[in-house]
Chain A
């Protein structure tokens, strides 16, 4: 155990559950459960172990900037004193959970700014490319770019959050052959060079999506953030079969043809979410390998969490920073760079799985991309389970058509009134009327998207855009269409009902309820996620 770090990381693993298998750990919001799965017909998918991080990330970054991939000159050759330079970077939704300092963005931005300073570039803007996500707070920006960069740029107004509703700040660059408007940040469009700083956590991130989505607004997003696109992305994690990906790539071409020069810097991280040692390390170990100490620390943690008020639990988990390590960095032309990045993501995350299952179970953790330092509300529970986890596949979905997804999460009827005001109204008004994505899109989307008050809160406070909860719901629309039933275990039953799902108090009750749909003796697959993996289903 002492030289654990020196062992080569093991690939992902599919465990066939037999009678001797120990109970499996389920994430359950900000608590955990140990569940026994039926022997003989259940399997558990474990993510690969964390890859080794780069030994010297900073020199790797410098190396990447000077040795670009694809049709691109080195960054230093692209910089001139009189130019307009814009550095855009991923927002608070990446990585998850937030990583320990120094953040990858800080390392890269500092390196880029060093080169810019050497070249005598004065006109530099830094933009958090958050599309219609909430604005990042000062603390969050400091965490991402570092205090030095923040103090040098923020007070003079050269480091700021993207504002997709600023009528002066947005332009439409053109239309794709499919008739999609390409909306873009005016500052970025008018820059001589846009440097994009990316952290690629899952295979959906990065590439043209970084800019075509991150620096866009409702006018552009509505063309691919909709039910049609999501139902035709099987899955949106699989670039070959993702309509979302295709649309972003079409838009990327329009951006390039409009003369916007983009120097893309992409990075990958390993999946060392909870640390190889430390208080949460047990969460990324396989149960049959738990030591006596692991067991003791897990029991103590669970006991402790159970007696805490929910707000205290939330605070503890919100303060967890992952010890992610950078596993690769590549820079240059967008598409060439992204090809390499995707390979690196797959290397960490792919697990080969043989065949589909009747029932897919998942323990949903306390965090999703949209509740960092916030509250995981019921809509985000739906989106994390049916949008993200369900779509973590290549080839075929893990669960067969007409099968059942069982998610474990407390699903409290709770909302963050600053971050998610339109979610509250979406939940109280829209979902009370219908849960059908098509109907929701048709009847309510425009009204929420153009609502003056939501726009005011998005621009001036820290609110997700009025239309954002709709996108959360669309994210799950492929799963909703594919599945025969969705059951949430241990959730607030009125909130679960509002989502249109069934509520079960225990996992065995949920299996009982699922048998109406999939018959007796169904096959069961459990995703032991996080840490994240991508199932390659044969």
Chain B
């Protein structure tokens, strides 16, 4: 009897926060009444116990137990039976402290299920966890001078990409094994990491990252750019390391770094285990449960799910594979039961390797799987953002190369379109289109990466033998076979896939399975309601392209031309237009540098006259180009009792007439001397991160909570301000901000000028009546 032999045992488990690990913990707590569990988890910031409580015991896997016991008794039971200790298999000595070591020394069984399962994890990370993890466990146990039964979870795919039968034997005994020294592999992986880190820090590379960051964010200011640059650098290093993993794996005949490091892990463990009795369990692709803890239970978004969802979204029009090929999928509860049976049976003489797979006794053909999935999504379609059902494509099972090419082509085209749209000076709805393109191309890229990563699995033609598994199965009595079922033949794919698996896939993927209801409020409506709630504190507004379709250049042009003769006006227009590209480039690079440079033009301008002209300019230029809906929004905020503040790099005399609209205005100011402007700003203008700072200071000063505040802005250079508040709103966003807003689900408002307004390239003041007024040369 399994429960009897495991009863009263202390069982150490790694990887209990993962998919398989959680299921093991649940099964042991539920089916073996008085065993005790030592869970080794990475402590994180708040400690191991906290993670166990939050990340394991709160999972819906335990719903059944909680329902059976009542939540109080459940808590009592878990408190009594679970010991959480902080540790990490990627660190020598498992990173255990004294107490942890003491706990570990009391265990009778050690189930190692921690792994870096991501197929594209960086090479060195996969090596540290998958290859060295088991070795470190063995070493630690030997140091403690204990010898519990070590049950290590591996994978069927350690057999590598090959055709035909793969027996349950150590891989280095296989005819196909390419003999490499695992210690050399470890060292090289670490060296590649060092080299890649160095390469990423060359001046050329750093400059490249910086440029990329600027391209993505624009003139957001140094801190934000630095953060982005570093993010891009680490991502680059990780990508290189992932590439290194894939290429090293395939050079040795493995589908990916996961299988490759797992394989060497087995070899290394066999070599270093010495006195530690060990068993290796090799599952195939673990997927949703058949029955336990509940039908269809799954944790996280795993290997097949993203592919299936991409397919259902119509993104994967083809996926490589052979229709009659076998997809070796095994439900998680079968794997858990097999592990329990192995642990209960205890160690045996000689190598003990058990494969848990469905391919040999109950094969699921690839063609069949596709048919079932297609039929299911035809009946239960996913809905797109417009509320239309997406029809799923029919696959023709081409080779991997062809699919990849097809996706690459789509991706290149989208990228090109995205580049073009991104380079256009578009805003609002057109920019939304750019954002949609960006999203689409990201999805395509992800789909391509699935083909890259998982294609090998769909094309794998190895058959995993189950002799030892079935031997173990037949040794169980009927009761155990009932309670710890791991016979792959019991899965009825034709009913399991549509009735159990697919519903859990769409649930895990959180995809819309019904059109958005017409009566219910749409997402923007909901966001708008949240924004216009009396609970909010503060509404901050940018000026240009948020409230008005104008900018500092236009204001200057208007003021400067107001008192010019026709001939001078012409000269002025020509000069300004010729200068436009330089100004634009400067503005893109750094907003405050641009303002500093541009505002010098006001040097020597008489203060009185500017004040007088500004009043006219407000009507002629600013109001004429204002967005009535935006101004209405400011007023709505005010009426709700929110504080309203305008934060802009425009000059005080330009924004002065807006004063009654806002509680406060934070803007740039020019110095004065002898009744004229000096052309130099008195303080750093509120742009980029300075704008965030201004908002932050303002909120502090007035005791307002930024999380309860709203910010309206139009450009990615306003990101620091938008990110600082709880309710960011992108107004007529340019492409970069449109993409960001879409990704993060921010409210996007399309505020327009009042229809019927004229458009002019460069706004000049209407000609003054010259015989009546003194014309004076105002500005250079």
Binding site for B on A (CB under 8 A): 138-139, 142, 147, 150-151, 155, 310-311, 375, 377, 412-418, 421, 424-425, 428-429, 451-453, 456-457, 460-462
Nearest chain A CB to B757 CB, angstrom units:
6
How far is B660's CA from A460's CA once the two chains are assembled, in angstroms? Answer: 11
Knowing A424-B628, A425-B628, say if A417 contacts B615 (CB, 8 Å).
Answer: no
Knowing A413-B755, A453-B660, A462-B619, say if A418 contacts B628 (CB, 8 Å).
Answer: no
Q: Which residues of B contact A375 (CB under 8 A)?
A: 756
Nearest chain B CB to A129 CB, angstrom units:
21
The answer to the question of B545 belonging to the interface, with a C-beta cut-off of 8 Å to chain A, is no
B623 x A415 contact (CB < 8 A): no
The answer to the question of B624 belonging to the interface, with a C-beta cut-off of 8 Å to chain A, is yes
Nearest chain B CB to A155 CB, angstrom units:
8
Of the residues B615, B620, B624, B769, contact of A460 by C-beta under 8 Å: B615
How far is B755's CA from A310's CA once the two chains are assembled, in angstroms? Answer: 11
Q: Which residues of A contact B433 (CB under 8 A)?
A: none
The 3 A-B pairs at the shortest CB distance, nearest first, are namely A414-B756, A417-B754, A461-B619
A421 x B756 contact (CB < 8 A): no
How far is B239's CA from A430's CA once the two chains are assembled, in angstroms? Answer: 57
Nearest chain A CB to B434 CB, angstrom units:
27
Q: Which residues of A contact B624 (CB under 8 A)?
A: 417-418
Q: Which residues of A contact B618 (CB under 8 A)?
A: 460-461
Q: Which residues of A contact B657 (CB under 8 A)?
A: 456, 460-461
B754 x A453 contact (CB < 8 A): no
Q: Which residues of B contact A310 (CB under 8 A)?
A: 756
How far is B766's CA from A460's CA once the two chains are assembled, in angstroms? Answer: 18
A416 x B769 contact (CB < 8 A): no
How far is B273's CA from A7's CA once the two chains are assembled, in angstroms? Answer: 125
Considering the complex, give the chain A residue whose CB is closest to the CB of B620.
Answer: A418
How far is B754's CA from A415's CA once the two chains are assembled, in angstroms? Answer: 6
Of the residues A147, A428, A460, contact of B772 by C-beta under 8 Å: A147
Considering the complex, give the chain B residue whose CB is closest to the CB of A154.
Answer: B772
The answer to the question of B775 belonging to the interface, with a C-beta cut-off of 8 Å to chain A, is no
Knowing A453-B660, A456-B660, A461-B623, say if A415 contacts B615 (CB, 8 Å).
Answer: no
The answer to the question of B635 belonging to the interface, with a C-beta cut-off of 8 Å to chain A, is yes
How far is B402's CA from A92's CA once the two chains are assembled, in angstroms? Answer: 74
B632 x A425 contact (CB < 8 A): yes
Which B742-766 residues have a C-beta within 8 angstroms of A?
A: 753-758, 766
Beyond A375-B756, A421-B631, 11 additional contacts (C-beta under 8 Å) are A377-B756, A412-B755, A414-B755, A417-B623, A417-B625, A418-B619, A418-B623, A418-B624, A429-B632, A453-B635, A456-B660
Number of interface residues of B (CB under 8 A): 25
A-B contact pairs, 22 of them (CB 8 A): A139-B766, A147-B772, A311-B758, A377-B756, A413-B755, A415-B628, A417-B753, A417-B754, A417-B757, A418-B619, A418-B624, A421-B628, A421-B631, A424-B632, A425-B628, A428-B628, A429-B632, A452-B660, A453-B660, A456-B657, A456-B660, A461-B618
The answer to the question of B661 belonging to the interface, with a C-beta cut-off of 8 Å to chain A, is yes
Q: Which residues of B contact A147 (CB under 8 A)?
A: 769, 772
Considering the complex, give the chain A residue whose CB is closest to the CB of B621.
Answer: A418
How far is B635's CA from A418's CA once the two chains are assembled, in angstroms? Answer: 17
How far is B625's CA from A310's CA once the two chains are assembled, in angstroms? Answer: 18
The answer to the question of B626 belonging to the interface, with a C-beta cut-off of 8 Å to chain A, is yes
Q: Which residues of B contact A421 (CB under 8 A)?
A: 623, 628, 631
Q: Which residues of B contact A452 (CB under 8 A)?
A: 660
A412 x B756 contact (CB < 8 A): yes
Nearest chain A CB to B749 CB, angstrom units:
14
How far is B757's CA from A418's CA once the two chains are assembled, in angstroms? Answer: 10
Knowing A138-B769, A142-B769, say if A414 contacts B754 (CB, 8 Å).
Answer: yes
Of the residues A415, A425, A456, A457, contact of B755 by C-beta under 8 Å: A415
Nearest chain B CB to A537 CB, angstrom units:
37
How far is B632's CA from A100's CA once the two chains are assembled, in angstroms? Answer: 39
Q: Which residues of A contact B635 (CB under 8 A)?
A: 451, 453
Q: Which residues of B contact A416 (CB under 8 A)?
A: 754, 756
Q: Which residues of B contact A418 (CB under 8 A)?
A: 619-620, 623-624
How far is B620's CA from A416's CA once the two chains are assembled, in angstroms? Answer: 11
Q: Which residues of A contact B629 (CB under 8 A)?
A: 428
Nearest chain B CB to A496 CB, angstrom units:
15
How far is B620's CA from A281's CA once the two chains are assembled, in angstroms? Answer: 34
Q: Which residues of B contact A457 (CB under 8 A)?
A: 623
Nearest chain B CB to A314 CB, angstrom units:
8
Nearest chain B CB to A313 CB, angstrom units:
12
Q: Which residues of A contact B660 (CB under 8 A)?
A: 452-453, 456
Q: Which residues of A contact B632 (CB under 8 A)?
A: 424-425, 428-429
| B608-628 near A? 1/0 per residue, CB < 8 Å | 000000010011100111101
Considering the complex, give the chain B residue whose CB is closest to the CB of A420.
Answer: B754
Nearest chain B CB to A174 CB, angstrom units:
32
Q: Which residues of B contact A428 (CB under 8 A)?
A: 628-629, 632
Nearest chain B CB to A19 CB, angstrom units:
41
How far is B657's CA from A429's CA once the two chains are assembled, in angstroms? Answer: 24
Which B718-756 residues have a C-beta within 8 angstroms of A?
A: 753-756
How far is B527's CA from A435's CA once the two chains are assembled, in angstroms? Answer: 28
Nearest chain B CB to A446 CB, angstrom units:
14
B626 x A417 contact (CB < 8 A): yes
How far is B632's CA from A375's CA once the two chains are assembled, in angstroms? Answer: 20
Considering the complex, give the chain B residue whose CB is closest to the CB of A134.
Answer: B619
How far is B618's CA from A283's CA once the two chains are assembled, in angstroms? Answer: 38
B619 x A151 contact (CB < 8 A): no
Considering the complex, give the chain B residue whose CB is closest to the CB of A447.
Answer: B639
| B654-680 near A? 1/0 per residue, CB < 8 Å | 000100110000000000000000000
Q: Which residues of B contact A429 (CB under 8 A)?
A: 632
How far is B772's CA from A150's CA once the two chains are assembled, in angstroms? Answer: 9
User: Which one of A138, A417, A418, A460 has the highest number of Cβ atoms from chain B below 10 Å of its Cβ?
Assistant: A417
Q: Which residues of B contact A451 (CB under 8 A)?
A: 635
Considering the complex, give the chain A residue whose CB is closest to the CB of B756.
Answer: A414
User: Which one of B624, B628, B629, B757 has the highest number of Cβ atoms from chain A below 10 Å of its Cβ?
Assistant: B628
How far is B626's CA from A425's CA once the two chains are assembled, in angstroms? Answer: 14
Q: Which residues of A contact B756 (CB under 8 A)?
A: 310-311, 375, 377, 412, 414-416
Nearest chain A CB to B144 CB, angstrom units:
75
Q: Which residues of A contact B772 (CB under 8 A)?
A: 147, 150-151, 155
Q: Which residues of A contact B625 (CB under 8 A)?
A: 417
How far is B251's CA from A362's CA once the two chains are assembled, in angstroms? Answer: 86
Q: Which residues of B contact A138 (CB under 8 A)?
A: 769
How far is B660's CA from A453's CA once the two chains are assembled, in angstroms? Answer: 6
Nearest chain A CB to B575 CB, angstrom units:
28
Nearest chain A CB to B322 CB, angstrom units:
57
Q: Which residues of B contact A414 (CB under 8 A)?
A: 754-756
How far is B623's CA from A424's CA once the two chains are assembled, in angstroms? Answer: 13
Which B409-445 residues have a C-beta within 8 angstroms of A?
A: none
How far is B634's CA from A456's CA once the two chains are assembled, in angstroms? Answer: 15
Nearest chain B CB to A277 CB, angstrom units:
31
Q: Which residues of B contact A462 (CB under 8 A)?
A: 619
Q: Which residues of B contact A142 (CB under 8 A)?
A: 769
Nearest chain A CB to B415 CB, angstrom units:
37
How far is B618's CA from A460's CA once the two chains are assembled, in angstroms? Answer: 9
Q: Which residues of B contact A150 (CB under 8 A)?
A: 772
Nearest chain B CB to A197 CB, angstrom units:
22
Considering the complex, give the chain B residue whose CB is closest to the CB of A147.
Answer: B772
How far is B661's CA from A256's CA once the two chains are assembled, in angstroms? Answer: 40
